[in-house]
Structure 1
Amino acid sequence: MILHLVKSSPFSHLSLKNALNRSAEQDLFLLLQDAVVAVCVESDLHNQLLDLDRQERLYVLKEDLSARGLTNKYGKVVDYKGFVSLSCHTSASISW
């Protein structure tokens, strides 16, 4: 199981789309930095992100949501302690 750390906004980069396309069924996703906007507004990735959320595989970093004044519509919000926990429970991580 891999933890995909996505940092770039889906409106300016293809990193989230590429991560989704290259992931395995059990992989987890953590959106941080500018990528948190993906769970706040609708985009062409909306359905894929909703599927991840339903499968409890989508996480969003609380501090990055707060720093941007955003509220997520889906995805489990975690703090830095949750980030570390996710990292410890996966075999590897990939930054996008």
Structure 2
Amino acid sequence: MLLHTVNKSPFEKTSLESCLRFAQTDSSILLYEDAVYAALQGTQCESLITQALKTHPIYVLTPDLHARGLNDKPLITGIQAVDYVGFVDLVVAHHAVQAWV
């Protein structure tokens, strides 16, 4: 099983859309750096993420939410927040990492 990592804002790049199009069912997805904006409720990404959550566990890196002043914004239901230790745990739990940049 793969861990897909996305770091680009979904409002500037198509990395997230590409990831979701090619990720196999049950592959995990981690949003970090500017991709954390996709994890927020009320954005134009919400329906895309909600649909993806039906077949993929999706994580967001908490320190990157904090760095962007988004720590008090509600996340889309089903997204799991992880810290750096959680990020490492995800990498260890998967046989490979696919970075979408």
**Letter aligned with residue 23 of structure 1:** A
Gaps of 5+ in 2: none
Are the aligned partners of 2:20 and 2:52 in contact in 1 as well (CA < 8 Å)?
no
Identity %: 36
Cα RMSD (Å) of the superposition?
A: 1.6
> In the TM superposition, what is the alpha-carbon distance from 1:67 to its structure 2 partner?
0.3
Q: 1:72 to 1:36 in 2, by over 3 A?
A: farther
After the TM superposition, which segments of 4 or more aligned residues of structure 1 sit over 3 Å from their partners? Answer: 51-56
Are the aligned partners of 2:9 and 2:38 in contact in 1 as well (CA < 8 Å)?
yes
TM-score, normalised with respect to structure 2: 0.85
TM-score, normalised with respect to structure 1: 0.89
Are the aligned partners of 1:3 and 1:92 in contact in 2 as well (CA < 8 Å)?
yes
Aligned to 1:92: 96
> In the TM superposition, what is the alpha-carbon distance from 1:72 to its structure 2 partner?
4.1
> In the TM superposition, what is the alpha-carbon distance from 1:54 to its structure 2 partner?
5.2
> In the TM superposition, what is the alpha-carbon distance from 1:53 to its structure 2 partner?
3.7
> In the TM superposition, what is the alpha-carbon distance from 1:39 to its structure 2 partner?
1.3
> In the TM superposition, what is the alpha-carbon distance from 1:68 to its structure 2 partner?
0.3
> In the TM superposition, what is the alpha-carbon distance from 1:55 to its structure 2 partner?
5.5
Aligned to 2:51: 51
Q: Distance in 2 between matches of 1:88 and 1:82?
A: 10
Q: Deviations over 1:50-95 (max 9, x none)?
A: 1344566000000000000113422110000000000011111011
